[in-house]
Amino acid sequence: MSEQSRPRQIRFNAFDMNCVAHQSPGLWRHPDDRSWDYNTIDYWVDLATLLERGGFDGLFIADVLGTYDVYAGTDEAAIRQGAQIPVNDPVLLVSAMAHATEHLGFGITTGTGFEHPYPFARRLSTLDHLTRGRIGWNVVTGYLPAAARNMGEEDQLAHDARYDHADEYLTVLYKLWEGSWERDAVRRDRAHGVFADPAKVHHIGHRGEHFSVPGIHLSEPSPQGSPVIYQAGASPRGRRFAAQNAEAIFVAAPTKAILREVVSQIREELVTAGRDPYDARIYTLLTIITDSTPEAARAKAAEYQRYASDEGSLVFMSGWMGIDLASYDLDEPIGNVESNAIQSAVAAFQQASESGGEWSVRDIAAWGGIGGMGPVLIGSGDEIAESLQEWVAETDVDGFNVAYAITPGSFEDIVTHVVPALERRGVYDRTYAPGTLRHKLFGRGDHLPDNHRGAAYRVDGPLSTIDDSIRTVGALAPTR
């Protein structure tokens, strides 16, 4: 079947976090949930092998460096509910999962606000080596005030200022990943005693508003160079940042109408940034509750709902929206408020629902009890498959960032019931392309395409795109 006649393929990404109660607060109490096992290697290895068996593009591991303390002005409710606290580092999980799998990609979340880009560049290059090119980085600028306070700041930067800071952060990383070591710098020449050619390793000479990084990258070129860049900003400033940098973009919208608008805006921003509108895969957040029959799926959903926590839901929503929902009456609508957190979260719930009317605090609590900001699809494998096809057809989204109600049960159910149904419809292929995560996602090779912002910093790229400070570094000046 030619690519032109092949039905549009649906893509899955699994959404998890190194904690309990990731998106469905209260469900950790369910007897079949294993999220409390998050601090063991076995949980993550078992999950990774399950997802690879189901043909998922990757496992996307969220993170926060702070607590959800916007709700009622304290972190007590978050602690009580296990709402993403306690939470462990996502980076340290990857090596074990990569060793147990061959194809699954790994997207890890770290923030640009609290770690210098120089050591971070080495950490990501190390993972790219160890995974044989299956690592991606979800760029977040931060949204929890608690994180800023515990890193010595009074509060986080203003929303758009965080993206301005992140722009330079990415510039430093691109210079290190793309503009320091030429890809053939490592010679391993035993006869002449030359491991790497100094003439092909370049100081980046970066001096900017936020960072000064004069030296070379500490790691030799990894399979991808720059890891696959993931991004989840959906505000106007976030969309612009994503269009310039991201190759996989995560969004969350409660309705198809809102999602269709968000996806359209992102596609337009990609064109404005000089890229093809489909140069980034767009995944939308949702949760799937499925079983062998429609009746069994609905019974399962009703059972899960009995464990959902309204308080935990409002803890999350307050943090994501930057609004203390404890200060509102439950039946009060969310009016026109300004937020320094995730602006798209506020905008989504300020818009009308599909049934009409503005969302109240009570509506938000009920909505977020299972699956967070995304919708919940309930049904048999065939019902879910049909619904997913409708979402793709009506919104132009590429795939789904699938959260769990319980883990690994929700993912097991998808692999058992939904994946075969999608395969029967010819819209899902659980076989993988060879090579790196970037090549698996786009089929265009291992490295950044020429029209990506980061490609401008390649050491073997056009001289006009590289800083003068890279060209003149004494004895280590590049030869061209």
Residue 174 in domain: yes
User: Which residues make Cβ contacts (< 8 Å) with residue 83, sequence separation at least 6?
Assistant: 21, 25, 68, 77, 312, 315, 316
Nearest to 282 by CA among 150, 73, 441, 143: 441
Q: Would you state the structure tokens that stand for residue 397, as one six-digit string?
A: 């989204």
Residue 325 in domain: no
Residue 367 in domain: no
User: Which residues make Cβ contacts (< 8 Å) with residue 376, sequence separation at least 6?
Assistant: 286, 287, 288, 289, 301, 370, 405
Q: Would you state the structure tokens that stand for residue 127, as one six-digit string?
A: 């993972």
Residue 30 in domain: yes
Residue 314 in domain: no
CA–CA–CA angle 159, 25, 69 (5° rounding)? 40
CA–CA–CA angle 153, 321, 137 (5° rounding)? 70
User: In a 3-state reduction of DSSP, which class is residue 455?
Assistant: helix
Residue 383 in domain: yes
Q: What is the pLDDT of residue 152?
A: 72
Q: What is the pLDDT of residue 31?
A: 97
Helical pair 310-321 and 343-350, crossing angle rounded to 10 deg: 120
Residue 44 in domain: yes
User: Which residues make Cβ contacts (< 8 Å) with residue 287, sequence separation at least 6?
Assistant: 23, 24, 370, 371, 372, 374, 375, 376, 377, 402, 403, 404, 405, 410
Q: What is the pLDDT of residue 161?
A: 84
User: In a 3-state reduction of DSSP, which class is residue 313?
Assistant: helix
Q: What torsion, rounded to 10 degrees, do the Cα atoms 411, 89, 65, 11 define?
A: -30
Q: 186-189 and 194-196: which strand pairing?
A: antiparallel
Strand partners, 61: 16, 108
CATH label of the domain that carries residue 201: 3.20.20.30
Q: How many domains does the chain have?
A: 1
Quote the pTM value: 0.89
Strand partners, 60: 15, 107
Longest distance between any two alpha carbons in the chain, whole Å? 78
27: DSSP letter: G
What's phi and psi for 154, nearest 5 deg? -70, -35
End-to-end CA, the chain: 44
Pure H helices in 103-156 = 117-130, 145-150
Range of the domain at 147: 11-309+374-476
Write the DSSP assignment of 153-220 as a string of letters: -SSPPPHHHHHHHHHHHHHHHHHHHHHTB-TT-EEEETTTTEEE-GGGB----EE-SS-EE-S--SSP
Residue 355 in domain: no
Number of H helices, E strands in the chain: 17, 13
Task: Report d(CA 118, CA 115) in Å as an integer.
Answer: 9
Give, for all 480 residues of the chain, the pLDDT tens digit. 445 567 899 999 999 999 998 999 999 999 999 999 999 999 999 999 999 999 999 999 999 888 999 999 999 999 999 999 999 999 999 999 999 999 999 999 998 988 899 999 999 999 999 999 999 999 988 656 676 678 777 656 677 788 999 999 999 999 999 999 999 999 999 999 999 999 999 999 999 999 999 999 999 999 999 999 999 877 888 899 999 999 999 999 888 999 999 999 999 999 999 999 999 999 999 999 999 999 999 999 999 999 999 999 999 989 888 889 998 888 887 764 444 444 445 455 545 444 456 778 888 888 889 998 889 999 999 999 999 999 999 999 999 999 999 999 999 999 999 999 999 999 999 999 999 999 999 999 999 999 999 999 998 754 333 343 333 222 222 322
CA 208 vs CA 86, 169, 465: distances in Å: 36, 10, 16
464: DSSP letter: G
Q: Would you state the structure tokens that stand for residue 38, as one six-digit string?
A: 């998050």
What's phi and psi for 186, nearest 5 deg? -80, 115
